[in-house]
Amino acid sequence: MQQVLAMIYLWLKAGHLIFVIFWMAGLFMLPRFFVYHQESAPGSPENAIWIDREAKLMKIIMWPSLLVVWVLGLTLAMSIGAFSQGWFHAKLALVLALTGYHFWLANYAQLLAAGQRKLTGRKLRMLNEIPGIAAALIVILVIVKPF
């Protein structure tokens, strides 16, 4: 099995990065959608459009990307023996946090669809910084491997 993984390692890595980009795009877009959604009148046609956009983003881009990122990421980690390396533990913790953020976004989309607007646009804009900070830290961990 290790020999097969070594042969396709670069393809796995490329696929992982491609789907990380797709997933991150969704993590950046959805909170922005929420800001605009909250500015629309409840029950209006515009409100319905935002509900549809959010659902499509989650269904077509974010959920599939999340799944592929995890499958390819864990496969890559196995192929290089990353589970014993400190940098990988830190990266894994950040990816778990981003995954939790993803699930929180999915829940907030359901709340907005049900007419519940619990956060302000300002708070949503602040939350939109989470994936960027996490991505920067993950890139540093993977490239530099500081520990």
Q: What is the pLDDT of residues 82-128, one digit of tens each?
A: 999 999 999 999 999 999 999 999 999 999 999 999 999 999 999 99
pLDDT of residue 38: 92
pLDDT of residue 6: 76
Dist CA 105 CA 139 (whole Å): 23
* Per-residue pLDDT reduced to its tens digit, 40-82: 999 999 999 999 999 999 999 999 999 999 999 999 999 999 9
pLDDT of residue 37: 96
CB count within 10 Å of CB 4 equals 9
pLDDT of residue 5: 74
Domain assignments of the chain as residue spans, ordered by start: 2-144
Q: Is 91 marked as binding a ligand?
A: yes
**1 pLDDT tier (thresholds 50, 70, 90):** confident
Q: What is the mean pLDDT of residues 11-33?
A: 97
Q: Which two tokens stand for residue 73?
A: 């990421």
pLDDT of residue 3: 80
